[in-house]
Structure 1
């Protein structure tokens, strides 16, 4: 379609106006919500359909998933683009982040182990990659976006409408320098520690960061983990450095150590570098990147020609290269057998940079008496069809429900699964 020359300037003005209106309106909405005022957003939030051909097809695919004896996996909810999960402390629901513009409120109202309702949380806000969700000790929901952090008081009790109380912990554009925003490695994860501080992973946006970025990233915490006050963003400091792109973390409640996954450098071959699951025992530790990852020296920009920096903390677990280790969660419930209690589950999203695909499974890692990693094994697999190399699902995160069941999110299928255990089934 040709556009007449006299019309182009008008269209151009409209485009500029639209571009300015979006961010301006979003800020206007958050300012209203901070003052407990209504935004004018439609009060009716449409739920995501939970039945139909899509749900039936996902259930059929779950028949391919292999689990240890006594375990069963079922569809818990249809949740588009489901990424990291935060199980509510007081109600039978959870909040689910995405790499798009939605945070989902997922509710099992009748407590039957299947979600009854999935709908957008706080749709009056303009979320941007709200991947990370987590809770403070006293029930405030944290949403860590690409370049902003929000805090929602009593979210599990006041999520029904589009307008919710909100605290702007880190304003838009202040988590990292705006010029370092990238479509690559922008998904944040978060946890609140026993110290009450908020821990946020900040993936560095390159495959390997150039040398001229090292100083800035070291200061800001890009390529590491930062911690800060979860209510006003104060007392910010870099907690861990030398990380390429962590998209999963959890505290071991027994000793307070912070464990986190780290994704591998691409383009070095099918089998290197290996993936990492790390353990931080104190603030200020350095985990080796970009000089080394797993057991592999990084060659880009000549990092392999440098002497290794001192005091590198070695990974606790090395996983198969390019399997994309993401979310993780310690298991301290009682439903699963004693073997699993005190260890942690972690999700592998599955490879893209490999001639033969791998990953797309849930791992379990047991711990030694001294709190270090013992053995890592496949716990749930089958989302990758080995005969065709086709992914039928891509696990992102794992979360433990209050009844001890394990949830697994899948952004490819747009679903959350629930894994349960029964001694009677194990005996058969």
Structure 2
């Protein structure tokens, strides 16, 4: 009975917090400055524990116990669960949030939380409000671990996989014919509860490759880009900073690092302009804008203040904005994810110019929609250096079951429509929009490479380095951040998409870098960014362990250990989950 009550409490509190940051609530606040029409008297209530370290720590433990599996570490959200670190919650006074937790809302299905002690309710308010800071309050004791993904579950259906069967060098191919009917399984809520990397855990790469830790101790490392001179730029989105790393030591670490610029608004995409060996600007995609900074080759600091280039649609939902330039430098592409899972843009103004790849002139003028119906391309767009084509890595929708809808990687057609939200993977109608827009059925494009559903495919890059074997030249590498909407986890890896040195995909992909999930289903690492270093090694950012990993080729059959390279970790061959 106690376990049932505790589980119910977890769900209720997560739902309460979810309502805080929903688009519906945002619209209510726009109409009425009081949070959920809280009485004026609640605004006058002061948090008696405000500013107390002990209250923050207690609130953090309560959050970890009840809500972290939904809203993620530091309230950054997970999948389609909105963040608590910005938006309606952060705009509301402490007293109004306390009032809402206490009273609940029948209309929104939220029961009163008055059964929780007043002190605990205020402690939760203290912690939630602290999440707007770059470094939220930390607990002085480790939070309880969450239930891991089941490892006794049946093997996945043919063509599909999960973390138990992801192995370096293993190929997968999903076709349109493999797709199940909607709701063939229930819609799972199985977000990762991150754990510290065990001493014997290390990323695993194919035979002949070595994995080293290039940098660690980072803060929410996200997108990576290599400058023409070989410097590596990193977006630390939570702290609002862009870092730059230079060189590689004999043990695989960065020789030098610095902060290129700080004070940004959740930066992600990074691009150098004009294309070529002597860029003059670094463009950065904030959640709400594109800005640029003066740059000289080799500079570790921005050469001047930011110049505003373009405003971008933002508010709730997917927040990453990636940037690329056409090879001739005449056009700038910016990817913007949807504000929701599957809200209808016909009736949802917040979806205007979202789930799109937008095209601009480099000065921010001339905006148009280059391609549409792409639920979340914000994690990664890239230009094929051989063909000049634009490609994207896409998070598809949730809620239709374990094996729908596949994420994907595809080249992007000018004017192309990729289905969201009414259709998916060609002429498959989302049952939540039954009967809508039949004229778009035949226009919905089937992407080039279908990935595991809910993989959360993020940054991608084309390999053009001097180090990997010849058959890797021109292939795509992409980071799979990992699922929350599958009953058994998938993703949490880096994949390779062979283009067969012809610039065209055959629909298959290969597990390349795995090992970020333990045997019991707990997660210690989540790949995000991927770029090719000047020496041809592959760099992968990981916002689970707050590290950058370096994958180098040492020769088939001669896989060197990390210790031989000066690292303390096991080799990818010897590491155990």
Asked if TM exceeds 0.5, the reply is yes
Contact 1:141 1:155 (C-alpha < 8 Å) held by counterparts: no
DSSP-derived class of the 1:310 partner: helix
Instruction: After superposition, give the CA deviation of every residue in 1:187-219 in whole Å (9 maximum; x if it has no partner).
Output: 1111112131221101011101224357885xx
- TM-aligned CA distance change 1:289 to 1:401, over 3 Å: same
For the residues of structure 1 that align with 2:435 and 2:305, how far apart are their CA atoms? 47
Q: How does 1:17-416 map to 2 (within 5 A)?
A: 60=199, 63=202, 65-78=203-216, 79-90=218-229, 92-108=230-246, 112=250, 113-123=252-262, 126-136=263-273, 137=275, 138-139=278-279, 140-154=281-295, 157-160=298-301, 164-170=304-310, 174-176=311-313, 181-182=315-316, 184-196=317-329, 197-213=331-347, 217=351, 221-230=353-362, 232-246=363-377, 247-281=379-413, 283-294=414-425, 296-302=428-434, 306=438, 308-368=440-500, 370-374=502-506, 375-385=508-518, 387-416=519-548
Shift, 1:373, TM fit: 0.5
Instruction: After superposition, give the CA deviation of every residue in 1:82-130 in whole Å (9 maximum; x if it has no partner).
Output: 000111222x43221133242232323565441244443323xx31110
- TM-aligned CA distance change 1:115 to 1:255, over 3 Å: same
Contact 1:102 1:121 (C-alpha < 8 Å) held by counterparts: no
For the residues of structure 1 that align with 2:387 and 2:231, how far apart are their CA atoms? 28
For the residues of structure 2 that align with 1:100 and 1:216, how far apart are their CA atoms? 23
For the residues of structure 2 that align with 1:110 and 1:273, how far apart are their CA atoms? 40
Aligned length: 364
DSSP-derived class of the 1:189 partner: strand
Shift, 1:302, TM fit: 2.7
Partner of 1:33: none
Shift, 1:252, TM fit: 0.9
Contact 2:236 2:243 (C-alpha < 8 Å) held by counterparts: no
For the residues of structure 2 that align with 1:305 and 1:89, how far apart are their CA atoms? 45
Shift, 1:62, TM fit: 5.1
DSSP-derived class of the 2:214 partner: strand
Contact 2:474 2:503 (C-alpha < 8 Å) held by counterparts: no
- TM-aligned CA distance change 1:102 to 1:292, over 3 Å: same
Q: Is the deviation greater in 93-102 or in 298-307?
A: 298-307
- TM-aligned CA distance change 1:303 to 1:74, over 3 Å: farther
The RMSD of aligned alpha carbons is: 3.1
Shift, 1:424, TM fit: 6.4
Structure 1 ranges of 4+ moved more than 6 A: 8-11
Instruction: Compare relative contact order (CA 8 Å, sep 6+) and give the higher one, 1 or 2.
Output: 2
Contact 1:298 1:304 (C-alpha < 8 Å) held by counterparts: no
Whose Rg is larger? 2
DSSP-derived class of the 1:97 partner: strand
- TM-aligned CA distance change 1:101 to 1:130, over 3 Å: same
DSSP-derived class of the 2:321 partner: coil
Where structure 1 has 5 or more consecutive residues not aligned to the other structure, the ranges are 12-56
Instruction: After superposition, give the CA deviation of every residue in 1:323-380 in whole Å (9 maximum; x if it has no partner).
Output: 1111100001120001211111111000111111111011111114653202311011
Shift, 1:420, TM fit: 0.3
Shift, 1:150, TM fit: 1.0
DSSP-derived class of the 1:84 partner: strand
- TM-aligned CA distance change 1:110 to 1:185, over 3 Å: closer
Shift, 1:415, TM fit: 0.9
Contact 1:395 1:408 (C-alpha < 8 Å) held by counterparts: yes
Partner of 1:14: none
Instruction: After superposition, give the CA deviation of every residue in 1:302-334 in whole Å (9 maximum; x if it has no partner).
Output: 367845433322100001111111110000112
- TM-aligned CA distance change 1:389 to 1:297, over 3 Å: farther
- TM-aligned CA distance change 1:74 to 1:305, over 3 Å: same
Shift, 1:222, TM fit: 1.3
DSSP-derived class of the 1:300 partner: helix
- TM-aligned CA distance change 1:156 to 1:77, over 3 Å: farther
Q: Is the deviation greater in 189-198 or in 241-250?
A: 189-198
